[in-house]
Structure 1
Amino acid sequence: MRGRLRLLALIAVSTVLAACGTSAPPQAAEGHRVDNCGRTQVFAEPPQRVVSLNQHATEILVALGLGDRLVGTAYPDDTQPPESVAAEFDRVPQLAEKYPSVETILEAEPDLVVGGYSSAFRESDGRGRESLEDMGIATLLLSESCVEGAATSGMELLLSDITMFGEVLGLREAARELNADIANRVRAVEERLRDKAPVDVFVYDSGENAPMTLGGRGVGADVLQRAGARNIFADVDETFADVSWEEAAARQPEAVILLDYLGAPVDPKRDFLRGHPLMSGTPAVRDGRFHRMQLVELTEGIRFPDAVEDLAEALHGV
Structure 2
Amino acid sequence: MPLYRYALAALLGFAVNSAASESREATHYPLMLENCGVELSFDAAPQRTVSVGQAATEILYALGLADRVVGTSVWFTPVLPQFREVNAGIERLADNDPSFEAVVNRRPDLVAAQYEWHIGPAGSVGSREQFSELGIATYIMPADCDTKDNSTGGDGTRVAAFSIDSVYKGIGELAAIFDVQPAGTALIEDLQQREARAVEAARKLDLPQDLSALFWFSSPDEGAAPYVAGRLGAPGYMMRQLGIRNVIGSSEEWPTVDWETIARADPDIIVLARMDRRRYPMDDIAGKREFLQSDPVASQMSAVQQNHIVEMDAHAMSATMRTIFGLESLVAALESMSFDP
Report the TM-score when normalising by structure 2.
Answer: 0.79
Deviates more, 1:157-166 or 1:296-305: 296-305
Identity fraction in percent? 28
1:143 is aligned to 142
Give the counterpart of 2:170 among 141, 161, 172.
Answer: 161
Q: Deviations over 1:180-208 (max 9, x none)?
A: 00001111111222252263111122232
Q: Deviations over 1:42-90 (max 9, x none)?
A: 0111111110011121111111111211111012111x22223222222
Corresponding position: 1:237 with 2:247: no
Give the counterpart of 2:264 among 215, 235, 250.
Answer: 250
Equivalenced residues, count: 287
The equivalences for 1:45-194 within 5 A come to 45-78=44-77, 80-121=78-119, 123=122, 125=124, 127-148=126-147, 149=158, 151=160, 153-194=162-203
**1:227 touches 1:309 (CA, 8 Å); kept in 2?**
no
Report the CA distance shift for 1:152/1:249 in structure 2 as closer, same or farther (over 3 A). Answer: closer
> In the TM superposition, what is the alpha-carbon distance from 1:39 to its structure 2 partner?
0.6
Provide the aligned C-alpha RMSD in A.
2.0
Corresponding position: 1:275 with 2:294: yes
What is the SS of the residue equivalent to 1:257? strand
Report the CA distance shift for 1:130/1:191 in structure 2 as closer, same or farther (over 3 A). Answer: same
Report the CA distance shift for 1:145/1:90 in structure 2 as closer, same or farther (over 3 A). Answer: same
Corresponding position: 1:203 with 2:215: yes
**2:316 touches 2:324 (CA, 8 Å); kept in 1?**
no
CA distance in 2, matches of 1:218, 1:163: 21
**1:55 touches 1:74 (CA, 8 Å); kept in 2?**
yes
1:6 is aligned to none
Q: Deviations over 1:87-141 (max 9, x none)?
A: 2222221112222222211111100001111222154656111110111000011
Q: Which runs of 5+ in 1 are unaligned?
A: 1-29
CA distance in 2, matches of 1:250, 1:159: 37
Q: Deviations over 1:285-309 (max 9, x none)?
A: 1112211112111123332222111
CA distance in 2, matches of 1:166, 1:201: 35
What is the SS of the residue equivalent to 1:121? coil
**1:258 touches 1:293 (CA, 8 Å); kept in 2?**
yes
Report the TM-score when normalising by structure 1.
Answer: 0.84
The structure having more radius of gyration, on CA atoms, is 1
CA distance in 2, matches of 1:220, 1:124: 25
Q: Which runs of 5+ in 2 are unaligned?
A: 1-28, 148-157
Q: Deviations over 1:133-157 (max 9, x none)?
A: 1110000111232223454543111
**2:118 touches 2:124 (CA, 8 Å); kept in 1?**
no
CA distance in 2, matches of 1:109, 1:220: 36
**2:239 touches 2:246 (CA, 8 Å); kept in 1?**
yes
Partner letter of residue 197 of structure 1? L
